[in-house]
Amino acid sequence: MSLKIATWNIKHSQQLIDTDPSEAILARRKRVKDTIVLMDADILLVVEGPKGEARIIDFCVSVLDNSWVPVLLKGPTDGVGDRDRDYGYDMRGTQWMWYLVKPSVLPQCRIQDAQVWHSFIGSEQWQVHYWGQFQRDDHEHFRQPQVLIYRLDNGKEIECIGVHLKSKINKERITYDAEQNFTGDYVNTALKARVKLATEARNIRHYVDAKFRQLEAPALVILGDCNDGPGQDYFESNYLFFDLIQNLQGEVLMAEKYFNHVLFDVAKDLRWTARFRDPILKIPASKNPLLIDHILVSQPLCNGSFPLKVNAKAGQVEHEIFERVNANSNSKTISSDHRPVSVVLEDTVIV
């Protein structure tokens, strides 16, 4: 057997279920459907999904004709409504994460209540000491990681950890001193956002550590939008001296807990998922390809010790499908500003 897992940030997907959609929205809706159909993933993490169970059910009906369905904590007969963070997902804001799966796969999938995450970590919040400051702050996931558990026929399980980390969007005015160094509130806001972003990644690693205290070799997938985009690496290199993805991957010295990136063997010019203007480095969007959306897998899914394995060249950014579907689109009708990332897991061959 094989299993295809994908992640896609569908920009403002809630717009696609407007009750009176414009022609542009209808065009976007068709392009989103065509992309998902052509990609044909068994499990798809949708980032920037609509808020609440009722809306994601509407999304699957109106956009996908229920060819993919959401994995919910409770079924549609259990009083579906527009839930808030006090329900089991613990999500805030209007951009939620959802796992959509083929109906044939649904019986093998379940969503883990967010309280399990908090129990494993020990708290919903954690302390943050900003760079060079003794004053501390509290932080928590604005978009709580969503965990889907996929059960194989032999009882083994793969745990997918869906993430949408804190945005780096900075609305402060960019100012410079006489030597053209950044000054003022923009720098402070940027550094705080990046520290919070890094601690969210560290919190995910704490959850991974908890899994390794439960199982000798857990099969784990971390996927989603890590928001390591505009201003990428500038503040990390000049102020903070850490790398976000390394925080998620773990330390090579702890080899059994190290995660492999499924795009590590993809050609460099194809290893990107979005283009955004960078006001820090003054780079236009057209010349600034960024790898923002990621899929990372634990060692059992790479070394052949699990029934399914990620082989060489198994991961890809779905550029061809994205470009084909969005031919002749414009800023209002393009499916999204992100491109999907996918990976195929194949049966492990025992020699």
Q: What is the pLDDT of residues 268-304, one digit of tens each?
A: 999 999 998 877 777 898 888 989 999 999 999 999 9
For residues 138 and 143, the model is more confident at: 143
**What average pLDDT does this structure show over 170-189?**
70
The share of the chain scoring above pLDDT 70, in percent, equals 85
Q: How far apart are the first and last CA of the chain?
A: 17
**Least confident residue range of 38-42, 114-118, 134-138, 255-259:** 134-138
Distances (CA, A) of 59 to 46, 53, 107, 109: 11, 10, 20, 19
- pLDDT above 60 (res 333): yes
Cβ–Cβ under 8 Å, residues 315 and 263: yes
Q: Which one of 51-60, 129-138, 316-325 scores highest in mean pLDDT?
A: 316-325
**What average pLDDT does this structure show over 37-41?**
98
Written as one string, the DSSP assignment of 117-176 is HHHHHS-S-EEEE-TT---EEEE--SB--EEEEEE-TTS-EEEEEEEEPPP----SPPEE
- pLDDT above 60 (res 242): no
Pinpoint the alpha helices (H) of 231-272.
Answer: 234-235, 244-249
Q: For position 238, what pLDDT does the model report?
A: 53
- pLDDT above 60 (res 239): no
Angle among Cα 236, 286, 322 to the nearest 5 degrees reads 100
Q: For position 135, what pLDDT does the model report?
A: 64
Quote the CA–CA distance of 216 and 296 in Å, as a whole number: 19
Residue 244: pLDDT band with limits 50, 70, 90:
low
Predicted structure pTM score: 0.89
Q: For position 131, what pLDDT does the model report?
A: 61
The burial of 179, by beta-carbon neighbours within 10 Å (0-12 exposed, 13-18 middle, 19 or more buried), is given as exposed
The model's pLDDT over 145-174, given as tens digits with 9 standing for 90+, comes to: 999 999 999 999 999 999 998 765 556 677
Residue 20: pLDDT band with limits 50, 70, 90:
very high
**What average pLDDT does this structure show over 113-120?**
93
Strand 341-347 to 146-151 pairing: unpaired
Q: How far is CA 203 from the centre of its chain?
A: 15
Cβ–Cβ under 8 Å, residues 117 and 106: no
How many structural domains compose the chain? 1
**What average pLDDT does this structure show over 203-207?**
92
Q: For position 241, what pLDDT does the model report?
A: 43
For residues 205 and 178, the model is more confident at: 205
- pLDDT above 90 (res 243): no
Quote the CA–CA distance of 232 and 289 in Å, as a whole number: 11
Cβ–Cβ under 8 Å, residues 9 and 343: no
Q: For position 191, what pLDDT does the model report?
A: 72
Domain of 9: which CATH number?
Answer: 3.60.10.10
The token pair at 149 is: 């558990």
Q: For position 72, what pLDDT does the model report?
A: 93
Q: For position 170, what pLDDT does the model report?
A: 54
- pLDDT above 80 (res 240): no
Mean per-residue pLDDT of the chain: 86
Q: For position 85, what pLDDT does the model report?
A: 47
**What average pLDDT does this structure show over 214-225?**
96
Residue 230: pLDDT band with limits 50, 70, 90:
very low
Residue 236: pLDDT band with limits 50, 70, 90:
low
Q: For position 68, what pLDDT does the model report?
A: 98
DSSP symbol at 348: P
- pLDDT above 90 (res 76): no
Q: For position 199, what pLDDT does the model report?
A: 82
Side-chain-side CA neighbours of residue 183 (13 Å): 7
The boundaries of the domain holding residue 6 are 2-347
**What average pLDDT does this structure show over 106-119?**
95
